[in-house]
Amino acid sequence: MNGIPFRSLRSSAHLARRAPSATKPTFRHCNTASTPQSTTTPTTTIDLPDLSRFNKNKMPSKQINAADFPLLQTCLTDNKEWAERVSHENPGFFANSAKGQSPFLLWIGCADSRVPESVVLGRKPGEIFVHRNIANQFHHNDDSANAVLMYAVGNLGVQHVAVVGHTACGGCLAAHGAPKPDENATESSALSRFLDPLIKLRHSLPEDASIDDLIVANVKKTVKTVCESDVIQANWKKAKETGTQPVYVHGWLKDLSTGLIKDLECSEGPDF
């Protein structure tokens, strides 16, 4: 895709490599001497079951009551208490929130339940626009991701996009151990198709690349892919022509063992 070249906002960072080792994998960050270490060994990954046999006969559904499930009822009760607490501490918050939103950040993160963007950044509702999927990917042919980016940049005027990976990512774990995608495969699932680019990225890395290397490489690749999108390219061209503020794209990584988010220092902006 042609367009405005992009430049790193900081010094260029390189993927940390780890020598082959029989020891437990530890997380390696790029371009930093103070490297947080993952203290947990990844134990879960994502299964890629063959779902084709389930597609033949659809199972009928029936109406049920969410209230019959105690855990869900507890969630609704907690929501009521939360809304009452917010209203008490900040009268008018929800009335103002209902009028519109002006988030400053688009978060492109993993769907993993341990990385809830507003919670981990300590932000209120209305501050972060969100797109989350398996392993925080951005594909040019993904209408959902592109529509979110278009709306966030074009309509809401976000100033920053943060691509956020995390340690022990199940999507990266699955991709790390997967063979090269079979281009001639006749059957595939949505999950396996979505992971294909991540599996190809894994096979573009050295054979001894660790899962943590793949997690960092995936964030950096996604930052580049977002910068190459039509939406960001159009934003940068408009910024150059009109002098408006361009959107900047950043790469972060959350360490599940500490709760801390690390800036991978691979931020990009337009080169003008």
Rounded CA-CA distance 53/267 in Å is 44
In terms of CB distance, is 112 or 196 closer to Zn ion? 112
Residue 212 interacting with Zn ion (CB under 5 A): no
Establish if 173 lies at the interface with Zn ion (CB under 5 A): no
> Minimal distance in Å, beta carbon 176 to Zn ion?
12
Task: Report the nearest approach of Zn ion to the CB of residue 112 (Å).
Answer: 4
169 binds Zn ion (CB under 5 A): yes
Comparison of 112 and 268: residue with beta carbon closer to Zn ion:
112
DSSP 238-253: HHHHH-PPPPEEEEEE
User: In the annotation, is 75 catalytic?
Assistant: no
Could you give the string, one character per residue 87-126, with x where binding to Zn ion holds by CB under 5 A and - elsewhere? Answer: -----------------------x-x--------------
Q: What is the C-alpha to C-alpha distance for residues 169 and 162, in angstroms, rounded to an integer?
A: 17
Stretch that binds Zn ion, among 21-29, 59-67, 150-158, 169-177 (CB under 5 A): 169-177
Q: Which two tokens stand for residue 16?
A: 């940390």
Catalytic residue among 112, 212, 213, 255: 112
User: Which of 168, 161, 208, 248 is closest to 15 using CA atoms?
Assistant: 208
Least Å from the CB of residue 7 to Zn ion: 28
Distances from the Cα of 44 to the Cαs of 113, 140, 203, 213, in angstroms?
Answer: 13, 28, 21, 17
Q: Establish whether 112 is a catalytic residue.
A: yes
Query: What amino acid positions are annotated as catalytic residues?
Result: 110, 112, 114, 166, 169
